[in-house]
């Protein structure tokens, strides 16, 4: 049974506008911004829009129950915090084990503002520190992103099994 929620993108609805990436960056910016200051914010989203000639879709952490990224971290800098798998940036040494362990490539590396010589892992944390949840979902103009809860998965599995039995 899955123990966390996650965000998933629908490629049929995604138009590749990258509004989700912008919403993510702004949600994780620690200070209030005026229009002049926004250009100084490092553009480091915790998801990425993958685009091909025929399709585009945001890809981000699936908050794995067994969290291979956390298992691979020698510093135990990736932990479960509420409904999310969370990176403790102050413990991360930038070894990249989590990047290699992630089955969907949803862990990234970036420089730390107050320590420009050090890099740290970062990934979707479901906007855990934002009161109204994942901003990528809230700001997507086409509603291509949705939060999937564990009970949604269980319901979907039951429906598919019932359909398969009826069809068989």
Domain presence at residue 1: no
Largest CA distance in the chain: 62
Q: Which domain holds residue 14?
A: 6-167
Q: Which two tokens stand for residue 93?
A: 């040494």
Which of 123, 126, 121 has its CA nearest to residue 145? 126
Question: Can you say how many angstroms the Cα of residue 134 is from the centroid of all Cα atoms in its chain?
Answer: 9
Domain presence at residue 154: yes
For the chain, what is the domain count?
A: 1
- Give, in degrees to the nearest 5, the angle at Cα 29 between 17 and 86: 90
Tell me which residues of the chain have a pLDDT lower than 70: 1-4, 31-37, 114-116, 168
Which of 44, 40, 53, 55 has its CA nearest to residue 21? 44
Classify residue 37 by its DSSP letter.
G
Dihedral class, residue 143 (left if φ above 0, else alpha if ψ from -120 to 50, else beta) = left
Asked whether the CA dihedral 158, 162, 165, 168 is positive or negative, the reply is negative
Distance CA 168, CA 164 (A): 6
Position 165 scores a pLDDT of: 83
Distance CA 62, CA 78 (A): 14
Domain presence at residue 18: yes
The CATH number linked to 121 is: 3.30.70.20
Domain presence at residue 58: yes
Spell out the SS3 assignment of 95-156.
CCHHHHHCCCCCCEEEEECCEEEEEEEECCCCCCCCCCCCHHHHHCCCCCEEEECHHHHHHH
Distance CA 81, CA 97 (A): 20
């Amino acid at each position: 049974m899955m123990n966390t929620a996650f965000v998933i993108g629908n490629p049929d609805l995604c138009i590749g506008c990258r509004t989700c990436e912008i919403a993510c960056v702004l949600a994780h910016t620690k200070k209030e911004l005026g229009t002049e200051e926004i250009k100084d914010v490092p553009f480091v989203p915790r998801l990425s829009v993958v685009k091909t000639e025929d399709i585009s879709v945001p890809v981000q952490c699936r908050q794995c129950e067994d969290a291979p990224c956390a298992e691979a971290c020698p510093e135990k800098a990736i932990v479960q915090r509420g409904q999310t798998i969370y990176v403790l940036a102050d413990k991360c040494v930038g070894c990249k084990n989590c990047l290699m362990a992630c089955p969907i490539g949803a862990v990234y590396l970036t420089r730390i503002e107050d320590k420009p010589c050090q890099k740290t892992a970062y990934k979707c944390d479901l906007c855990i520190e934002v009161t109204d949840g994942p901003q990528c979902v809230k700001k997507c103009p086409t509603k291509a992103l949705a939060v999937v809860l564990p009970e949604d998965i269980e319901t979907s599995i039951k429906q598919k099994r019932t359909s398969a039995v009826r069809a068989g």
